Amino acid sequence: MIPTPDTMTAAWLTERLRGAGHETAEVLSFRGKRIGTGQIGQCIRYELELANPDDAAPLQLVGKFPSDDATSRQTGVQLRNYLKEVSFYRDLQARVGIRTPRCYFAEIEGEGPEHMLLLEDLAPAVQGDQLGGCSPEVARAAVLELVGLHAPSWCDASLRGIEWLGEPNAFTVQIGRALYGGQLPAFLDRFGPSLEPDERDIIERVAGSVGPPFEALPEVFSLVHVDYRLDNLLIDEAATPPGIAVVDWQSVTLGNPLSDVAYFLGAGLLPETRRDVEREIVAAYHRGLVAAGVEDFSWERCWNAYRRGAFAGFAVTVVASVMVQQTERGDEMFTHMAKRHARHALDLGAEEFLAGDALL
């Protein structure tokens, strides 16, 4: 049985700890407090009172459940967000090197919405601030952490054909383009007044793109997070370099690895900061790939894939902003994302790719 926030028990938590190797631990009581700002799911931090713990037994865990908003729950099922995240922790977490929280439980009924994850609490690391952006040091650490996701899955043919993971093909490209075009009028009605004319123009032009972000799987591919942004990172800025752990694996799929890099830098850095540091950060990422054993991927190909990846954030921003529960914080976040992604693509001259030029 999959617990809910209302049916969680100390006995169930005890079973999870003992199943993870803490054989003597017993949860005597717990307190739950909602944390985070998720749009599709809700997270609850559980503070545990333990009897007979070993030295490694956690005193806090995080439970992740479906959103309590009907619209967001429907979106989570329709976009397979719940299925993807549970499946990532069950099937793929051990195959990659990117830092993720230890998983104590991952189950789902069908494709959801009923599901639950029980995860390691990585405090004192804190959730990134999508609205305020981050420092270049945090941005560099976050991008380098992506090497641990991309390099182990680089052009790995064994990942193709995994049904829940999916990969872009003619059908999904058609669906993606239709979703973008269908949600664009509502998006522009809500967010258009906050956009500069050239920002609005390029967002509208993407609806007719025969290139990114609506493309089949490229020749050079890897696992991609898809929604790699500050709100989905837990950051420890007291460490040097800053410690990064990655959560919210609700959109993981196969695609252009540089789309994760571009998506993060485009939305996570203020434009005036990004322009000064992005080339060096992408170059450090490229060196990381080479050091991890990636071959036949030149710097020139890497930079062009990064420029093309600047459109990755358009689809997430336009579609998700309309399909999830509307909140004041959410509207502010999506406004910032739309403006930053649009400015990023314009700064990189990436509009040339909308005509469908070759990627890699």
pLDDT in tens, 221-259: 999 999 999 999 999 999 999 999 999 999 999 999 999
Burial class from Cβ neighbours inside 10 Å (0-12, 13-18, 19+) for residue 10 reads: middle
d(CA 286, CA 295): 11
**Could you report the per-residue pLDDT of 306-334, keeping only the tens digit for each?**
999 999 999 889 988 887 778 888 889 89
Complete domains list, the chain, with CATH:
10-120 (3.30.200.20), 126-355 (3.90.1200)
pLDDT band at residue 283, thresholds of 50, 70 and 90?
very high
**Could you report the per-residue pLDDT of 202-227, keeping only the tens digit for each?**
999 999 999 999 999 999 999 999 99
**Could you report the per-residue pLDDT of 123-135, keeping only the tens digit for each?**
889 999 988 999 9
Percent of the chain with pLDDT over 70: 98
d(CA 247, CA 57): 21
C-beta separation of 141 from 233 below 8 A = no
**Could you report the per-residue pLDDT of 76-134, keeping only the tens digit for each?**
998 899 999 999 999 999 999 999 999 999 999 999 999 999 999 998 899 999 889 99
Which residue type sits at 198? D
**Could you report the per-residue pLDDT of 159-194, keeping only the tens digit for each?**
999 999 988 888 989 998 999 999 999 999 999 999
Closest listed residue to residue 130, CA positions, set 121, 138, 141, 120? 138
pLDDT score at 134: 96
pLDDT score at 265: 98
Mean pLDDT of all residues in the chain? Answer: 93
Average pLDDT over residues 268-294: 97
Beta bridge mates, 127: 234
d(CA 336, CA 340): 6
pLDDT score at 28: 97
**Could you report the per-residue pLDDT of 285-313, keeping only the tens digit for each?**
999 999 999 999 999 999 999 999 999 99
Percent of the chain with pLDDT over 90: 81
C-beta separation of 341 from 293 below 8 A = no
pLDDT score at 357: 58
pLDDT band at residue 37, thresholds of 50, 70 and 90?
low
d(CA 34, CA 45): 6
Closest listed residue to residue 200, CA positions, set 214, 220, 185? 185
Global pTM reads 0.92
Instruction: Give Cα 22 distance to the centre of its chain.
Output: 30
